[in-house]
Amino acid sequence: MCASGAAAQDWETMETIGGAWDTEWGEVWVFQNGSRYDGNYSEDNGRFWLEFTDHVFEGYWAEDLSDVRCDVEYMGSWYWGRLELSNSDHFPGFLMRWGYCRAPVDRMWAFYERLPDGL
């Protein structure tokens, strides 16, 4: 669910989500790769990708181990799920919605702020 109102982040005008971010689960690195973004984080060798479609960033995450094992392998792992960036009134941060396997994106991952370059 996206936040509404003038304070919400407008993804179409955001220059980039690339760079290092401080999140509730530690540091995350996001890199632009053509028309999509690839990211990684230290929790269980976590990785993800996102593409901007229909006014929202959508993609998938995968880890080497997670609470739920999926019935099919994806991104080289049995532990994966869907991702969706949500508009947020918590700028400069944002909320990443996520779920396990093919389940709805019903959980939140808070990105607080960008970290200095070079981390």
Q: Residue 115: which residues within 8 A CB-CB, separation 6 or more?
A: 19, 20, 21, 22, 27
- Give the pair of three-digit tokens for residue 66: 């997670």
Q: Residue 15: which residues within 8 A CB-CB, separation 6 or more?
A: none
CA nearest to 27, candidates 50, 43, 14? 43
Mean pLDDT over each residue of the chain, to the nearest integer? 83
pLDDT (tens digit per residue) in 4-14: 333 344 444 44
- pLDDT value of position 4: 31
In the chain, the N- to C-terminal Cα span, in Å, equals 32
The answer to whether residue 96 scores a pLDDT higher than 60 is: yes
CA distances (Å), origin 117, targets 12, 18, 52, 81? 23, 11, 24, 29
What SS3 state is found at 44? helix
The answer to whether residue 69 scores a pLDDT higher than 90 is: yes
Rounded to whole angstroms, how far apart are CA atoms 77 and 33? 21
**Arithmetic mean of pLDDT, 17-23:** 88
Q: What are phi and psi of 45, to 5 degrees?
A: 55, 45
Rounded to whole angstroms, how far apart are CA atoms 51 and 54? 10
